[in-house]
Chain A
Amino acid sequence: MAMTPDGPDVVTGLGVGPEDDPQTIPDQPGRAPSSLVAAGAADLMAPIVVTNTLWTSASAGAYASTAPAFTHLRELAHDELANADTARWGQLEVIPTKADLLVDLIRMNSLWPLLSGLACCAIEMMSAATSKNDMDRWGMFPFRASPRQADVLIVAGTLTTKMAGPLVRLWEQMPEPKWCVAMGDCTCSGGRYKRSYSTIEGIDRLMPVDVYVPGCPPRPEGLIYGMMKLGQLVKERRGQWPDRPIAPNVPEDV
Chain B
Amino acid sequence: MDRLLRRRLEARFADKLTGPVRQRHDETELRIGAADLTEVMTALHDEPDLDFAVLADLAGVDTGNQMQVTYHLWSATTPDWLRVIADGLPRDNPRIATLTGLWPGAEWMERETYDMFGIIFEGNRDLRRIYMPPDYTSFPLRKDFYLADDAARSPGGGVRHMEQTHAPSQATERVVRRTVKA
Which positions in A face B, CB cutoff 8 Å?
1, 3, 5-8, 161-162, 194-198, 253-254
Contacts and interface: CB of A to CB of B under 8 A. Distances in A.
Given A7-B127, A195-B150, A197-B140, A162 B92 contact: no
A8 B149 contact: no
Contact of B133 (A6, A7, A161, A195): A161
Contacts of A5: 118, 129, 136-139
Interface of B: 92-93, 114, 118, 120, 122, 127-129, 131-134, 136-140, 145, 147-151, 153-155
A243 B24 CA distance: 63
Report whether over half of chain A's contact residues are helix, strand or loop; otherwise say mixed. loop
Nearest to A194: B150
A253 B153 contact: yes
A1 B154 contact: no
Contacts of B149: 195
Contact of B148 (A6, A7, A162, A195): A195
A1 B92 CA distance: 8
Contacts of B131: 198
A8 B154 contact: no
Given A194-B150, A195-B149, A198-B140, A8 B120 contact: yes
Contacts of A253: 153-155
Contacts of B120: 7-8
A253 B150 CA distance: 9
